[in-house]
Amino acid sequence: MKVHVKLFASLRKYAPADLTTERVIVDVPPGAAVRDAIAALGIPAEHARMIVSQEGQLEPSAALVDGQQLDIFPPLAGGR
């Protein structure tokens, strides 16, 4: 099944060099979880801090569905 992933900030370096859209299409097997899509892109688990989908924020163990869109953010810092 295919999952559409948008990578933000420092995670963009994990996108394929020949990417022509803002979303990476990741093939994962049926029954895959968010962590499987992250691993398929070669992103260390601790670098994918916040995962958001249409349903809201997801845990790495959340099940994926075909065609789902994920936005993945690295750890963020700043402020006071």
Q: Please give the model's pTM, rounded to 2 decimal places.
A: 0.90
CA distance 18 to 30: 26
pLDDT score at 9: 93
Does position 80 have pLDDT exceeding 90, yes or no? Answer: no
pLDDT score at 4: 97
**What residue spans define the domains of the chain?**
2-73
Q: Which two tokens stand for residue 19?
A: 């990417």
- pLDDT tens for each residue of 21-79: 899 999 999 999 999 999 999 999 999 999 999 979 999 999 999 999 999 999 976 55
pLDDT score at 78: 57
Residue 21 buriedness (CB in 10 A; 0-12 / 13-18 / 19+)? exposed
Residue with tokens 């070669």: 42
Is residue 64 within 8 A of residue 40, CB to CB? The reply is no
CATH class of this structure's domain 2-73: alpha beta
69-73 and 24-27 beta bridge pairing: unpaired
